């Protein structure tokens, strides 16, 4: 089937596009190549997509999505384009309203008017706010800690509204700390490995615990949901909380660099931990990558690009 992906040159979007294309789907991606992080990473991913026969359209969802969709017959649309990250949302909250809420409404309106039957939306574990324990989907109440989280939670409500009003098939994924090769430079593991390879001290903000989920587990779960035509709200995580400080210490010992502490960043939650039972029961999602294996793959990628 024809599949569209917004934000398809991003970390998760590009990995999903390659997986779905390899499974026999015809995949098209749109990406605005914004400069939230190094655009060269996105351009490199785009070249890899094109080398695998995936069409990459350089366009802005706000302005170009309707025309792009009109030129295709999408059976499903994965909306991954967004402005990520907690720190930026504290200083530019209006940008997050525009790119995380309004952009989602643009996608939903386009799906409605162009008859795209199924939309998959990428949300975040940030919507749970400051909670502990393995979190079930119903435990997100809107009591969040950052404008980024508020924007994602608001976008989820628009998704459910369009499902209720227009019978749009809607699937919402809440991702838990996705990592892997060619990831986002602002994420902790990417930063830790780069600091270690440069011989710099690894900086840990606060003492957080995170449910690190390897990229292949995330994209496999998304494909399983597509194949099952699953609708609803699903956590995609590793079900395994890890101390970020412990990981930093292991990397510090391996590369002989110190680990230094810095105050926790405003807006960051202290723990993320997923309960993915709903995804397992509905479409068979079971995470399989260990953190140790995932980090080794990341280190290999970081070394190869130097």
Please list, in sequence order, all residues whose beta carbon lies within 8 angstroms of the beta carbon of residue 80, skipping any fewer than 6 positions away: 5, 6, 7, 8, 10, 12, 13, 16, 122
Please list, in sequence order, all residues whose beta carbon lies within 8 angstroms of the beta carbon of residue 48, skipping any fewer than 6 positions away: 14, 18
State how beta strands 209-210 and 242-243 pair.
antiparallel
Residue ranges of alpha helices (H) inside 23-83 are 39-51, 61-70
Pick from 48, 295, 97: nearest CA to 187: 295
CA dist 148 and 127 (Å) reads 9
Please list, in sequence order, all residues whose beta carbon lies within 8 angstroms of the beta carbon of residue 250, skipping any fewer than 6 positions away: none
Q: Which of 148, 162, 179, 285 is catalytic?
A: 148
Active site residue 148: yes
Residues known to be catalytic: 148
């Amino acid at each position: 089937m024809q599949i569209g992906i917004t934000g398809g040159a991003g970390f998760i979007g590009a990995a999903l596009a390659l997986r779905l294309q390899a499974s026999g789907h015809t995949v098209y991606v749109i990406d605005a190549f914004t400069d939230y992080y190094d655009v060269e990473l996105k351009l490199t991913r785009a070249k890899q997509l094109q080398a695998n026969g995936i069409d990459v359209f350089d366009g802005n969802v706000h302005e170009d999505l309707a025309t792009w969709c009109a030129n295709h017959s999408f059976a499903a649309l994965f909306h991954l384009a967004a402005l990520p990250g907690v720190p930026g949302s504290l200083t530019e909250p209006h940008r997050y309203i525009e790119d995380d809420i309004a952009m989602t409404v643009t996608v939903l309106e386009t799906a409605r008017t162009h008859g795209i039957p199924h939309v998959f939306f990428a949300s975040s574990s940030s919507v749970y706010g400051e909670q502990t324990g393995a979190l079930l989907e119903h435990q997100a109440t809107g009591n969040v800690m950052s404008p980024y989280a508020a924007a994602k939670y608001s976008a989820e409500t628009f998704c459910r509204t369009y499902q209720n009003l227009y019978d749009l098939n809607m699937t919402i994924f809440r991702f838990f700390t996705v990592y892997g090769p060619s990831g986002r430079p602002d994420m902790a593991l990417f930063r830790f490995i780069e600091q270690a390879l440069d011989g710099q001290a690894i900086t840990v903000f606060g003492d957080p615990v995170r449910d690190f989920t390897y990229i292949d587990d995330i994209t496999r779960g998304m494909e399983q949901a597509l194949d099952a035509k699953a609708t609803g709200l699903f956590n995609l995580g590793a079900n395994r909380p890890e101390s970020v400080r412990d990981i930093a210490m292991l990397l510090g010992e391996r590369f002989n660099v110190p680990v230094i502490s810095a105050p926790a960043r405003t807006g960051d939650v202290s723990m993320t931990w997923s309960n993915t039972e709903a995804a397992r029961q509905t479409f068979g999602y079971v995470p399989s990558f260990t953190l140790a294996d995932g980090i080794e793959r990341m280190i290999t990628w970081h070394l190869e690009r130097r």
